[in-house]
Chain A
Amino acid sequence: MDTDRELTKALGERAGHSFGLTLTPFLREQANRLADKPALPSPDLVGSLSKTEIATLYGIALYPAKKWNVTGHSAFDQAEFTSFVNYKTRQTPSYFTAYKQFLALFAALEQKLGSDKAMDYLYTPDPGTPPANWETVRYWGIQEFLILFVTSGNFRSFGWVNFPGWMGGPYNNPDKLPYRGIDDE
């Protein structure tokens, strides 16, 4: 009960989306601590990644298909991913610096391990001694790419017809529902 109460209170104090109201540095720090996540680096610094940089991130974002053998259902195309990255880097809170750190870390790993092993390394939660910016890259990069990977159609591999975050379509025709209806088996 007390935990629920504390979590509910913490919900109101998350940082990142102020929309006309500026959170004090104290509140922002406290919110990040309460949410148990690394701070998003330089959230006010917006910018655009190059096509090459976005393509590199897209390659990394597709790697779960290989690692988890999730194939045949993806609607996870590069155009949508590019749109996602641009929204994340060109607006605040901006992921521009976080993605730059991501790309720098991947480049270093790729040089050391090769492309496939570098990607596998990024998708492994505990790599032993973590490299610089590891928590930021994992939290703001890898985690969100995995969520996007699943919601962008790959949830079908798990037997579902719809999933939160997927635009399933209208439900006004009971004979063609965008989810499994009560009479479906």
Chain B
Amino acid sequence: MSEDANVVIVGSGVAGSLVASLLIDAGVSGITILEAGPDIVMKDPRSWFDVVTTGVAPYESLYDSAADYNSEGANPWVITGSRIIGRGGSTIHWGGWCPRFMPEDFALKSNTGLGIDWPYGYKDLEPYYNKAEAYLGVAGVEAKGQRDWRSQPYPMAGPTLPLTAKPIVTALADKGYIFGNMAIARNTVAHNGQSQCITTGTCHYCPIGARFTGDQPLNRVAGEPNVKLIVNAPATRLIMSDKQTVAAVEYRDMTTGNTHKLSATAVYLCAGAFETPKLLQLSTSEYWPAGIGNDNDLVGRYLVANPYLYCRGGTSTNPQRLQQELNFPNLASRQWDTPEEQAHGKFLMNMSYDAPLIHPGKLMYQGMPANEIDAAVTGPLQYELQGALSPLPNYENRVSVASGTTRFGLPRTLIFTPETMVPQSTIDLNGQRMTGLFEQIGYTVSGAGAYPQRGDHAASTCRMAASDSEGVVDTSLKVFGTDNLYVASNAAVPTVGAANLTLTTVAAIMKAVDETLSGKPSWASPAR
């Protein structure tokens, strides 16, 4: 079946819905968004009751299953639970963490000889960071002298740190380390038509939509007359009419099994760091025998994500009954998110927001009497410090297509990572740093190490670069060698800092779309 669109956007997550919003604001019409997964019910009372009483959110069946991917290498990735394949994408379940990258994160190669430099610097992206923070609704507390300098205040004030943070704050202050609030996309006040946070402590499924999720902009654009969103519609191939021009997107309707051909004058791939390179690799033709944009064998390479560390420490009594009452990210330290750490991995540390956390209902279920429950509440106290490392890119680490098809109609994924993303010495060093904090306040450390590598912040598989010898897309996120094909996704982020990259991805997409529209491409004409 053949259908027509002007602009086709593949993926309805934070990137796809952002591109749709920006194009609509610019007067572009005829937009079709293809989403491989199904709709996800949001702000739903029944689902929220389930989250509270069972811990299971409605999107969990939309995670990758173990059968959906192969993972091989030095530290095989486990991506189940890392991304959501459904309307709104992975911000449906994200924590909303929105720290900016540090200025040095844009110059990895210049500073260390590793990886690549961004084609532009922090100061070029800074205005778009402000716009991205307004778009996502970021609440934060500006720290004096912070190196990720800002020209505008945060859109919203951040929350006061909870009492539970006090022991860790004491340790950080005693050591003379810097610390502050984690910037988060949570509404201190009502913002962008979304509710004010009322502190439900169930942020992974907010009953009132008070943190940014990808469905929110989709809901706003869905009412536009020239926008169409098709769910259960995995894109299977891009069809080129010549070397430079993408002419159509082929997709499968999972409800009927039929294959459709959707003609387009421009295509934005917004399908994340796994599906985007896979779709380019699969789209072979006489013009691109190794896949679109892949003449230099770079599509899918340089796969990175933040390694994630932990350190658990505690003490024998808890007379203040400390408990994570706020239950969303708050205390963080960028003490080791510095240029000096860049060559072996920078570290952004945070306090886990779900430890200490005791649920008396679960103890009652086990039959524990009242006096023992009270003893548990006032007894041994355990904290967890955590943190993300900036990954070091390596050409050998790659995403590609495995044989077979998932239940979403997507090709299965092969994640091949023969090279680790940081040396073991970096993991050990930062474990020692967190251990030192617990020791500072007299807590006993019960364990430290790295979590299994997940794929939540996977990136760089179609990286932005100054030329096609170094990357896959240019600063406008257009695939080198094409005229109308763009990658607006984590996949295009050239290098990743210790900070979560969603805010930076959003800012980079905003900058790129500005650049594209300023060139007045024919498909962007409102008259079309």
Given contacts A8-B80, A9-B78, A20-B39, contact A179 B64 (CB under 8 A): no
Task: Identify 7 residue pairs between A and B in the complex whose beta-carbon atoms are under 8 Å apart, listed by A's number.
Answer: A4-B452, A5-B452, A17-B47, A163-B323, A165-B202, A168-B198, A182-B163
Docked complex: A138-154 residues within 8 A CB-CB of B: 138, 142-144, 146-151
User: Is B199 in contact with A165, judged by CB distance below 8 angstroms?
Assistant: no
Q: DSSP class of A's interface residues: helix, strand, loop or mixed?
A: loop
User: Is A172 in contact with B189, judged by CB distance below 8 angstroms?
Assistant: yes
**Chain A residues with CB under 8 A of B176:** none
Residue in chain B with minimal CB distance to A139: B365
**Chain A residues with CB under 8 A of B157:** 172
**Chain A residues with CB under 8 A of B327:** 162, 164
**Chain B residues with CB under 8 A of A181:** 160-163
Q: DSSP class of B's interface residues: helix, strand, loop or mixed?
A: loop
Number of chain B interface residues as a range: 35 or more
Q: Which of B46, B164, B188 has the most C-beta atoms of chain A within 10 angstroms of its own C-beta?
A: B46
**Chain A residues with CB under 8 A of B207:** 167
User: Is B364 in contact with A123, judged by CB distance below 8 angstroms?
Assistant: yes
Interface window among B49-57, B114-122, B516-524: B49-57
Give A153-185 as 1s and 0s: 1 = Cβ < 8 Å from B's Cβ atoms. 001001111111111111110100111111011
**Chain A residues with CB under 8 A of B454:** 8
A16: interface (CB < 8 Å): yes
B175: interface (CB < 8 Å): no
Given contacts A181-B161, A182-B166, contact A147 B201 (CB under 8 A): no
**Chain A residues with CB under 8 A of B111:** none
User: Is B188 in contact with A166, judged by CB distance below 8 angstroms?
Assistant: no
**Chain B residues with CB under 8 A of A164:** 52, 200-202, 327, 357
Residue in chain A with minimal CB distance to B51: A165
User: Is A1 in contact with B201, judged by CB distance below 8 angstroms?
Assistant: no
Interface window among A84-92, A97-105, A108-116, A128-136: A84-92
Q: Which of B51, B161, B373 contacts A68 (CB 8 A)?
A: B373
**Chain B residues with CB under 8 A of A15:** 61
Given contacts A19-B41, A21-B61, A169-B199, contact A150 B359 (CB under 8 A): yes
Q: Which of B59, B157, B202, B325 has the most C-beta atoms of chain A within 10 angstroms of its own C-beta?
A: B325
B289: interface (CB < 8 Å): no
**Chain A residues with CB under 8 A of B39:** 19-20
